[in-house]
């Protein structure tokens, strides 16, 4: 137990630095004072459940992982599929941070658009099948090897065309993060060999 608790401080410091957060920012997010956070990271303050729960939430790390940190040298990602709105979602990002990556398998039955909006930016890459993407006024179909990028504040929905399941990779990040791959319409794909902006 003492050895496990002794590892918590360095683990907390590593998580905070990996997120690029200051003690002041972490204090504002958790309600824990900067001095307490500093003493936790240096091992001068014994970690308690009351302190670890808000830190676990902010760092997006399960409490058991926070206390019993895995070996840093093991690069394998433990794939733990879950079902979300009928789709199978596999998180591919083990560490917390602003960018999160998922592999998703969408069934053929998920074919009725239901556009939503939320903060963030998303990238999609189709691995297999045909993905229908409704983005604002655009209604696109992407095949294997095609990618799309969009601001999630624009009404959007993606799913199957109804012809069969679709498998894709998705990367979700905070507002303002952008990549160079753009969604393109079928007309753009015929006209040029380069990606076109969707607006």
**pLDDT tens digit sequence for 101-126:** 888 999 999 999 999 998 888 999 99
The pLDDT of residue 145 is above 90: yes
Sheet with 131-135, strands from edge to edge, namely: 138-142, 131-135, 156-160
- The end-to-end CA distance of the chain, in Å, is 55
The pLDDT score that the predictor gives to residue 45 is 87
Tokens representing 1 are 């137990």
């Amino acid at each position: 137990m003492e050895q496990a608790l002794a590892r918590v401080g360095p683990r907390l410091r590593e998580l905070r630095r990996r997120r690029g957060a200051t003690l002041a920012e972490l204090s504002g997010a958790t309600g824990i004072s900067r001095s307490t956070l500093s003493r936790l990271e240096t091992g001068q303050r014994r970690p308690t459940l009351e302190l670890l729960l808000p830190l676990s939430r902010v760092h997006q790390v399960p409490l058991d992982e926070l206390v019993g940190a895995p070996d840093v040298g093991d690069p394998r990602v433990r794939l733990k599929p879950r079902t979300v709105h009928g789709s199978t979602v596999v998180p591919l990002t083990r560490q917390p941070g602003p960018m999160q990556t998922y592999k998703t398998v969408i069934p053929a039955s998920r074919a009725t658009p239901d556009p939503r909006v939320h903060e963030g930016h998303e990238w999609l890459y189709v691995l297999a099948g045909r993905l229908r993407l409704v983005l604002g006024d655009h209604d696109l179909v992407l095949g294997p090897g095609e990618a799309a990028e969009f601001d999630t504040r624009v009404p959007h929905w993606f799913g199957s065309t109804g012809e069969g399941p679709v498998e894709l990779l998705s990367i979700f990040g905070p507002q303002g993060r952008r990549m160079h791959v753009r969604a393109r319409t079928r007309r753009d794909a015929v006209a040029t060999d380069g990606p076109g902006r969707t607006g």
